[in-house]
Amino acid sequence: MNVFLALTFSGIALGAIYFLAASGLSLIYGLMDILNFAHGLFMTLGAYVAWDVASHLPTSWGAPLLFSIAVVASIIGGALAAGLTEVLLIRPLYGRPVSQILVTIGLDLAVVGLLLGGFGSNSLSIPVPLWLIEASRVGGLDLPNSNFVALVAGVVILVALELFLHRTRYGITIRAGVENRDMVSALGINVGRAFTLVFVIGGAMAGLAGLLYAVVFSGDLISPTQGDSLLIFAFIVVVIGGLGSIRGSAVAALVVGLVQDYTNFYLGSHSGMAEIGNLSVVLLLALVLEWRPRGLFGSTL
Coil, strand or helix: which one is 141?
Answer: strand
Q: Is 55 in the site for other proteins (CB under 8 A)?
A: no
Among 160, 180, 219, 269, binds other proteins (CB under 8 A): 180
C-alpha distances in Å from residue 297, one per residue of 4, 148, 247, 268, 300: 28, 27, 8, 30, 7
Among 149, 238, 246, 255, binds other proteins (CB under 8 A): 238
Among 8, 55, 145, 300, binds other proteins (CB under 8 A): 300
Distance CA 206, CA 77 (A): 10
Among 50, 112, 246, 253, binds other proteins (CB under 8 A): 112
Among 1, 56, 60, 118, binds other proteins (CB under 8 A): 118
Strands, E, within the chain: which ranges? Answer: 124-125, 135-138, 141-144, 221-222
Identity of residue 156: V
Q: Is 98 in the site for other proteins (CB under 8 A)?
A: yes
CB within 8 Å of 71: residues ≥ 6 apart: 50, 208, 211
Q: Is 124 in the site for other proteins (CB under 8 A)?
A: no
Coil, strand or helix: which one is 275?
Answer: coil
Neighbours of 292 (CB within 10 A): 13
| Interacting span for other proteins (CB under 8 A) from 10-18, 59-67, 155-163, 268-276 | 268-276
Nearer to other proteins, 147 or 260 (CB): 260
Q: Is 254 in the site for other proteins (CB under 8 A)?
A: no
Q: How far, in whole angstroms, is CA 50 from its chain's centroid?
A: 16
Among 66, 79, 111, 216, binds other proteins (CB under 8 A): 111
Q: Is 239 in the site for other proteins (CB under 8 A)?
A: yes
Identity of residue 59: T
- Where do contacts with other proteins occur on this chain (CB under 8 A)? 29, 32-33, 35, 89, 92-99, 101-103, 105-114, 116-118, 169, 172-173, 175-176, 179-192, 228, 232, 235-236, 238-239, 243, 273-276, 278-279, 282-283, 285-286, 289-290, 293, 300-301
